[in-house]
Structure 1
């Protein structure tokens, strides 16, 4: 069987589950607790982060974008991903994510205030706001590979201070995120499952 180690609230793991939910591929989902990582997962991927996908032949994929690509191989969603989309995802991962972490855990980074870290993250939000001016999604009215790769991180940023976010000037970004959170796709990937360590129950994902 193909195994996916995941943690429900992790944006990287959300990426993997989004790709799988849109594909015809299924895996055995192992929901873990980050403070008590299974030894089998660590043996497969010593860096100890989720998601981790283990194929039937033992091949390990432990980068979220690579799992998305594996799940969506041959699909129109992946085939239509442009260089511009990949550059936007790269900016999310290499620049925005760093400010997001400092904003979320500002007490660990006393060099600056929480507001300062939020303002640095807003530079990316402003870019997305402009991108969303003419369509409901980043590149059209349909979800692209970039939308699905970036939205979990925007959700995390928003919920650091949801009252601020809901009153912010980023109306298009807010609508984009709200539509995503209200979608059947998001509800599908965010279903709660018992942790694998407690139950050792093999759960098929996505459910048919």
Structure 2
């Protein structure tokens, strides 16, 4: 896997028979599908796309040119992380990531829906801070408080139980990025461990889930990308390794 993001004029890499996910390295929605593929130990190829200068062929896989898109047969694809992830869980049922109980599956979807206000606040804080309103900070913390209450109510290590599941992999990419906000001068978005003790424990547990650990990025890395995007020149190819864990990024050798 290369961290290079292909762009307009670049040739589509040859298809080699594996599932192929079109993504963007810093996209939380694409990360959701990467985590599910990792969790299920499915062999796949990963192709990163420059979303500002999209290669012409991405529209053959995703009509709007959005990521993620999953090529399941040569030239045939589905798109949207929620659609992809449910498909993967049903197509490869050996390690189910969704609850078997229909009510619990519905409750998991409600958790994700209730968390959407925190996600929206994050995007404004990270990429359009001049439009930030006090109610957005409130919505952010309301989302965190709701998630912590759900963890307390369920009384399990992960929302899915003893092991991380689809609801955890759906929420995690945003929690991962939330940690970068204080580094961007948004201290009001800090996840204070004294206030969010259970949630902080959950975040640390998620960092060590193998599917997450092999792909997630450090807060400093997310902050650096966010700054480049906010300036109008996103540095898609800033990484010099194929995966950077949720630790401090390695320094380049002098």
Aligned to 2:55: 38
Deviation for aligned residue 1:167: 5.0
In structure 1, stretches of 5+ residues that fail to align are 192-196, 204-208
Q: How does 1:46-61 map to 2 (within 5 A)?
A: 46-61=63-78
TM-score (norm 2): 0.65
Equivalent position of 1:26 in the other structure: 43
1:174 matched to 2:200? The reply is: yes
The residue number in structure 2 matching 1:10 is 27
State the secondary structure of the residue aligned to 2:70: strand
Q: Within 5 A, what are the aligned runs for 1:136-155?
A: 136-155=157-176
Change in 2 beyond 3 A, CA 1:184/1:57: closer
Cα distance change of structure 1 residues 168 and 79 upon mapping to structure 2, 3 Å threshold: closer
CA distance in 1, matches of 2:173, 2:146: 17
Q: How does 1:60-71 map to 2 (within 5 A)?
A: 60-71=77-88
Worse-matched range after superposition: 176-185 or 101-110: 101-110
- Report the Cα distance in structure 2 between the residues aligned to 1:36 and 1:106, rounded to whole angstroms: 21
Structure 1: distance between partners of 2:196 and 2:143: 11
Residues 106-145 of structure 1: pairs in structure 2 closer than 5 A: 106-109=128-131, 112-113=133-134, 116-133=135-152, 134-145=155-166
Q: Report which structure shows greater RCO (CA 8 Å, sep ≥6).
A: 1
- TM-superposed CA distance for 1:130, in Å, is 1.1
CA RMSD of aligned residues (A): 2.7
Q: Which has the larger radius of gyration?
A: 2
Q: 1:206 — aligned with what?
A: none
* Cα distance between partner residues in 2 of 1:6 and 1:144: 21
CA contact (8 A) 2:61 2:78 kept: no
Q: How far off its partner does 1:157 sit?
A: 1.9
Residue deviations 1:47-104 (CA, integer Å, cap 9, x gap): 22211112215332111011112222224322536210122123334x3322221222
- Where does the alignment leave 5 or more consecutive residues of structure 2 unmatched? 1-16, 218-235, 243-254
Question: Are 1:19 and 1:69, in contact at CA under 8 Å, matched by a contact in 2?
Answer: no
1:194 counterpart residue number: none
Of 82, 89, 97, which residue of structure 2 is paired with 1:77? Answer: 97
- The TM-score with structure 1 as length reference comes to 0.78
Q: How many residues are paired up? A: 190
Question: Following superposition, which runs of at least 4 residues in structure 1 exceed 4 angstroms of deviation?
Answer: none
